[in-house]
Structure 1
Amino acid sequence: MTAPGSDDFDGSLRTAAMAWLDRKSTPDSLVVTRQDLLDFTFEGQRFPLIDNQLGIRKPQGFRAALSILTTYTSDRQRPPYEDAVGPDGFLRYKYQGDDPQHYTNRGLREAHRLGVPLIWFFGIRQGLFLPFYPVWIVADEPRNLQVAIALDEAQLNLADHTSLSPLERRYSERITKQRLHQPVFRQRVIQAYETSCAICRLRHASLLDAAHIIPDRDDRGVPAISNGLSLCKIHHAAYDANILGIRPDLTIQVRTDILHEVDGPMLKHGLQEMNGVALTMPRRRLDRPDPDAIERRYEIFRKAG
């Protein structure tokens, strides 16, 4: 057994924690609970992966932080991501409080200096987190009380992030969107709909998507649960292709020409029989579809038909 706090112990712990997360992650369950993270064991002893009260886990005796955590907040409390991304496309993570010398903030700086990987636990719902790992701290920005985070090796290997070319910035932004924004949006929407397709009630998480009501390429297509629908892959594709639409009364409408087609059982049972079905709603009212977004999207469907 290696000594707690030694470099060997630190490296072994990080490796074991990420391997454990690999085993916990399945196509039907990518998230972990707070209790799971508090109950993690290493070399026969309980070794929490998160701090019970602080956002940064810097174990006693360790030089560098082990993990960072973003607490769940509802869409109406703050913009989900806009204030967390820098002009270089890298995500920022705020210090613990406003004291750069707090031991957790020193742990972030040591993680940067040593180049060690961390785990980022991002809140999806109360007590439920989507883990991102390994991530690296690529810059310390004490004036703004924050650090810059690389979400994968492609971002890590970019040249000096303070002098990226326009092409490199767009590439970095795309990584951030694909690696964090899209997975977080997907998990938050699917959890809100209790892992079920809002149209056909299919309950296999690996076959579910988070469909945007207003597309994310539109300025109004915000990554909020109220702009999302949990749909199975066939109904997501049909919604995007305007084969089916959702009326302002939250009833499914299948395009008229599709209703008159004759084909196999998928067309009949998977699409045509969905005409007139009421959309399943999340339990929480604030998670339900934005009426204005539904109406704008329905107009696009109606014109397409």
Structure 2
Amino acid sequence: MDSAVEAALRTKIIEWIHQRAEANGGFLHRQELLAYRTGGRDLPLIDYSRGIRNPVDFASTLAIVQSAHGPYDDAESPEDGLLHYAYRKGDPDGGDNRKMRNAIETGMPLVLFRKETPNFYTPIAPVYVVDDVPEERAFLIALDESFRYMPDVRHLSEPQRRYALRLAKLRLHQPAFRMRVLLAYETRCAVCELKHGSLLDAAHIAPDSSDRGIPTTPNGLALCKIHHAAFDQQMLGISPDYVVHIDRALLDEIDGPMLRHGLQEMHGRALTLPRRAPDRPDRDLLAARWDTFVRGTA
């Protein structure tokens, strides 16, 4: 395939991935990725059984898959914020590894799919292969094209390292947290049960800036955008017994239907909880947040 044609096709694929993920709530199902078609032909975006997708007529790797095993990806270096993607097994100069190396030379963007739970993938795109580290038998994957132009990505300066770590939090950790939370709540708001994924957020109970604000499902709530904003602004509180409360001053206001139906009528409503008990909101975290809400409404 001509390089310009391949580049244009990648752009089309990445645009489609972002559109579908946004509609779903930030993630895609395995079957969607396997069923992708373009130009009248099948072009699966992930491999059926391997963690790398190298279409025959592509000169460079199209997509890679990483399985997450905790709140943070084990393959992401805590020191440099880059992804260390292991060589494919066998010949280090084999076809899969060769197409990864070619991506360094061509600068072709890749798609990184993070498999947070079976059959569901969070897409991060575009990402770039920026170096080959034979002594680690790994490639370095950057989340921003600017790393392609840095002279030595193995030894980042302190400002570059901080930038890489900020990118990792923004583009890896936050989408992963969102996916876990929305799937736990079956893509519906815990307060009003709105089921449109594009209108839902994963809200932190303990802020991610705090020591307790780790990106795990018990520290999250699936909330529609209005209830997320109300929760963050102390207009809506959730008690440790999973009951929704609206600020008393807000209950006395008279306004249009959004205030009446969207907020006031939620007062006293039981939270819609995940089916799995381990995914449900941590009561201690809710208690700390509840104290803040009560003090603000006193």
Q: Residues 303 and 41 from structure 1, CA distance in 2 versus in 1: closer, same or farther, beyond 3 angstroms?
A: same
Once the two structures are superposed, the pairs formed by residues 161-172 of structure 1 within 5 Å of their partners are: 161-172=153-164
- Could you tell me which runs of 5 or more consecutive residues in structure 1 were left unpaired when the two chains were aligned: none
| Superposition RMSD in Å | 3.0
One-letter amino acid of the structure 2 residue matched with residue 55 of structure 1: G
State the SS of the aligned residue for 1:235.
helix
The superposition leaves residues 26-61 of structure 1 with CA deviations (integer Å, 9 ceiling, x where unpaired) of 545543322222233354332322211110122447
The structure 2 residue matched to 1:46, chosen from 42, 45, 48, is: 42
Bigger CA drift: 201-210 or 93-102?
93-102
Find out whether 1:186 has 2:178 as its counterpart: yes
Structure 1 residue 97 displacement after superposition? 4.8
State the SS of the aligned residue for 2:14.
helix
Quick one: distance in 2 between partners of 1:142 and 1:90? 16
Bigger CA drift: 117-126 or 227-236?
117-126
Once the two structures are superposed, the pairs formed by residues 227-246 of structure 1 within 5 Å of their partners are: 227-246=219-238
Q: Residues 232 and 87 from structure 1, CA distance in 2 versus in 1: closer, same or farther, beyond 3 angstroms?
A: same
Find out whether 1:115 has 2:107 as its counterpart: yes
Q: Residues 178 and 156 from structure 1, CA distance in 2 versus in 1: closer, same or farther, beyond 3 angstroms?
A: farther
The superposition leaves residues 81-135 of structure 1 with CA deviations (integer Å, 9 ceiling, x where unpaired) of 3651442333333444587455433432332233222111222442122322221
8 Å CA contact 2:110, 2:128 repeated in 1: yes
Structure 1 residue 159 displacement after superposition? 5.6
Q: Residues 141 and 236 from structure 1, CA distance in 2 versus in 1: closer, same or farther, beyond 3 angstroms?
A: same
Find out whether 1:205 has 2:205 as its counterpart: no
One-letter amino acid of the structure 1 residue matched with residue 96 of structure 2: T
Quick one: distance in 2 between partners of 1:19 and 1:270? 33
Q: Residues 158 and 274 from structure 1, CA distance in 2 versus in 1: closer, same or farther, beyond 3 angstroms?
A: farther
Q: Residues 256 and 222 from structure 1, CA distance in 2 versus in 1: closer, same or farther, beyond 3 angstroms?
A: same
Bigger CA drift: 291-300 or 15-24?
15-24
Which residue number in structure 1 is paired with residue 63 of structure 2?
A: 67
The structure 2 residue matched to 1:293, chosen from 282, 285, 291, is: 285
Quick one: distance in 1 between partners of 2:226 and 2:260? 13
Q: Residues 141 and 298 from structure 1, CA distance in 2 versus in 1: closer, same or farther, beyond 3 angstroms?
A: farther
Quick one: distance in 2 between partners of 1:238 and 1:250? 16
Quick one: distance in 1 between partners of 2:95 and 2:252? 67
Quick one: distance in 1 between partners of 2:122 and 2:71? 18
- Could you tell me which runs of 5 or more consecutive residues in structure 2 were left unpaired when the two chains were aligned: none
8 Å CA contact 2:111, 2:126 repeated in 1: yes
Q: Percent identity?
A: 44
The structure 2 residue matched to 1:90, chosen from 64, 70, 82, is: 82
TM-score, normalised via structure 2 length = 0.84
Structure 1 residue 225 displacement after superposition? 1.8
One-letter amino acid of the structure 2 residue matched with residue 91 of structure 1: L
- Aligned residue pairs total 297
The superposition leaves residues 151-203 of structure 1 with CA deviations (integer Å, 9 ceiling, x where unpaired) of 23345455643444433332222222222322232233223222211111222
8 Å CA contact 2:21, 2:123 repeated in 1: no
TM-score, normalised via structure 1 length = 0.82
One-letter amino acid of the structure 2 residue matched with residue 18 of structure 1: I
Once the two structures are superposed, the pairs formed by residues 1-305 of structure 1 within 5 Å of their partners are: 2=1, 7=3, 10-11=6-7, 13-21=9-17, 24-27=20-23, 30-60=26-56, 63-71=59-67, 73=68, 77-81=69-73, 84-97=76-89, 100-101=92-93, 103-157=95-149, 160-305=152-297
One-letter amino acid of the structure 2 residue matched with residue 136 of structure 1: Y
State the SS of the aligned residue for 2:163.
helix
8 Å CA contact 2:26, 2:175 repeated in 1: no
Quick one: distance in 2 between partners of 1:301 and 1:99? 59
